[in-house]
Amino acid sequence: MKSISLIIFLLFQIPAWAGNNEPSASSEERLKIQEGIASFYGKRFHLRKTANGEIFNMQEMTAAHKYLPFGTMLKVTNQKNGKEVWVRINDRLPQTSKRIIDLSRGAAQELDMIRDGIVPVKLEVSDEEIVFSLIDHFKENKPEDLRLRYYESAIEMEKPSIIGLPAEICVIGNMLASTLNN
């Protein structure tokens, strides 16, 4: 009877050993910091000073954001068509804006959003070090709509093999299986 109990216990453990090799969050999810609506600006602001003091060129790959530090590089993905562009933050959006980012006309053309005017986008940074530096930059004043998190690295573990189980358990398992089938 003890052997049958052991076999049943082991049979329920096999799915747990099989487990899932996926990390808790994909690398893409780890780098996503915001989702929302993007717009673009161009002719009216062309060759004027931006908030960081440089001259705006509507054909460059730049953008305005409410609070990300100047110089932050972002991958912007148009969620309607999957097109992506890398931009550098060099200007500020008004704090009251409902948009999360205002792109230069050049970046908007790369995302194929000129006709639409506004599109849903996803903002990502290049690596986890940027996420850590943004966490450090904002400290306790992190804006609620920014998704900045520490992720723990997965612990690598070797899964036990059922091949190494004693032969007695395998034989009893076969007896149990034939008993259950009858």
pLDDT tens column, 154-178: 566 676 666 655 555 555 555 555 5
Q: In the CATH scheme, what architecture does the domain 32-141 have? A: Beta Barrel (2.40)
Structure tokens at 109: 């053309």
Domain boundaries, the chain: 32-141
Q: Answer whether 101's CB lies under 8 Å from 121's CB.
A: yes
Could you give the C-alpha distances from 158 to 15, 18, 142, in angstroms and in order?
15, 11, 39
Q: Is the pTM of this model over 0.85?
A: no
Structure tokens at 6: 């052991």
Is pLDDT larger for residue 87 or for residue 158?
Answer: 87
Query: How far is Cα 160 from Cα 171, in angstroms, rounded to an integer?
Result: 19
H or E, element range at 38:
strand 32-41
